[in-house]
Amino acid sequence: MDVFVFIISTIVFLYSLMLLSLIAGFYRIQEETYKTEVPVNDFSIIVPFRNEEDNLEILVESLNRIEFPKNKFEVIFVNDNSEDHSLEILIKVLKLISFKYKVLSQDTEVHGKKEALTLGISNSNYPWIITTDADCYVRPLWLKLYDQKLEETDVVMLAGPINFTSDESGFIDAFQKLDLFALIGASIGSFGIGKPIVNNGANLLFSKEAFYAVSGYEGNIEIASGDDMFLMEKFKEKYPTKLSYLKAYGAIVYTRSIREFNDFINQRLRWSAKSSSYGSVYVKVIGAGVGIANLALIILFLLAIFGVSLRNVLPIILLKLIVNLWLIKITSNFLRDDKKLYYYPIVSMVYPFYILIIAVASQFTTFEWKGRTFKK
């Protein structure tokens, strides 16, 4: 039993060390503040959408409030065969805006976010592409901060932060928030140590020239999700030193947390299902390590509950929980959003079970998203 406890504790200890390295990377990336400068770069913002009739108006209004010369950016909306009134609502709302835009629709036999993004990029006029989602809204300084960062660094890709905005209360909303904070913190930290492991297509900039140089989404076009991650993998392989993170409060893109539990599970299954298709051995090892470490943590919980070697397992459990809270706390400070932190004790108990269940289920079950059913 002592050897078993030692092995399990070592796994959790090593996982905690990995989190500490991400925390160090988080601090290494300096937070950007806007300096008054003349805008230099031109941007094409690509917005794929499917069944977003409740969200498009909010996004369009936020895009119209962007503080950036209207002749230096365009927005390309791509309809991915919506089955609701998204297209009609979008066209109506666009009559009230002042920025340049295009509205495209995919052929009925073509579907999927990557196809929609590819169509938008092929119809873009500017050298820098920014992707976001139709259920988001952006901040006024969004483009100015990207423009400023591009002038300071030699990159082909910049990842940006996202956050949930919600008036909801309760455990599910808090769980989503803290889960997101851990992901954002890990993302920033991984860029800080030069080994990016995760980003988000709701706030992602890349060079159009580099996109075509790596053949875009070719090779993973049929996978239900992962447009952001698969593209990042390609950029890392071809341009290993030219990926960075825009750590700026004014560049945060906001989206709503998911209200229905079933939708939340389907989203997480969709995110997790793509993991086995990653080409990067490093990302696969990290993903496997997260799963193994959380399984080990569950075992330690059980050993502590049943009083087996309590003196040995309790310190390592506390170490992991404290380090994880540290990562979430510094991320919440950056996002200026710490209202849900008091849920951490209960979330930290549930989270290992959630990770394990989602990881296993995503490899065997079907899931639904935006009115489509996907099979593993």
Assess whether pLDDT exceeds 70 at residue 39.
Answer: yes
At residue 268, the pLDDT reads 75
- With contact defined as beta carbons under 8 Å apart, do 314 and 304 qualify? yes
Which residue's structure tokens are 């945060």? 252
Give the pTM: 0.90
Assess whether pLDDT exceeds 90 at residue 286.
Answer: no
Task: Find, among 183, 111, 230, 118, the residue nearest to 335 by Cα.
Answer: 183
Domain boundaries, the chain: 2-25+281-374, 34-263
Pairwise pLDDT comparison (280 vs 257), residue with the higher score: 257
Spatial distance between the Cα atoms of 363 and 272, rounded to a whole number of angstroms: 8
Spatial distance between the Cα atoms of 4 and 352, rounded to a whole number of angstroms: 19
Q: CA-CA distances (angstroms) from residue 50 to 57, 79, 92, 263?
A: 14, 6, 17, 15
In this structure, of 250-254, 327-331, 367-371, the range with the lowest mean pLDDT score is: 367-371
Q: CA-CA distances (angstroms) from residue 194 to 28, 76, 79, 182, 197?
A: 10, 32, 36, 18, 10
* Kind and range of the H or E run holding 216: none
Spatial distance between the Cα atoms of 47 and 103, rounded to a whole number of angstroms: 10
CA dihedral 131, 135, 140, 142 (to 10 degrees): -30
Q: What string of DSSP letters covers 169-195?
A: -SHHHHHHHHHHHHHHHHHHHHHHTT-
Spatial distance between the Cα atoms of 54 and 195, rounded to a whole number of angstroms: 37
At residue 280, the pLDDT reads 65
**Could you tell me the pLDDT band of residue 36, with boundaries at 50, 70 and 90?**
confident
Domain at 34-263, CATH homologous superfamily = Spore Coat Polysaccharide Biosynthesis Protein SpsA; Chain A (3.90.550.10)
Helix, coil or strand: residue 163:
strand
Single-letter amino acid, residue 79: N
In this structure, of 50-64, 139-153, 164-178, the range with the lowest mean pLDDT score is: 164-178
